[in-house]
Amino acid sequence: MIHITLYHLRIIALIEGISYLLLLFIGMPLKYGFGIMMVNKVLGMGHGILTLIFCFILFYLWQQKKINTPLSIGVFIASLIPFGAFVADSKLVKLTY
């Protein structure tokens, strides 16, 4: 049986948020400023995989009624915004403890 908690969501959200910032502030300038494509491909693939894992965990916790619908929508929207993962983490930490 799978035992996923809000702690796991917080961890993957922070890792996914950091990968998003790396993609935006390192990958994109290297791609468009210096023409280095490989870094962006690697960071993009890693970020995509982390985003899928994040979405699956968020959906699983919502389905198990461990996180309510408005908060899960807010956490998802925050994951689309740079630095939003850190804002979402401050909301999730209140549920964890």
Q: What is the dihedral of CA 67, 70, 74, 75, to 10 degrees?
A: 10
State the 10-residue block means of pLDDT for the chain, 97 residues long.
86 95 95 93 95 95 92 93 90 77
pLDDT of 91: 83
pLDDT of 50: 96
Handedness of CA 84, 82, 63, 45 (dihedral sign): negative
pLDDT of 95: 75
pLDDT of 94: 80
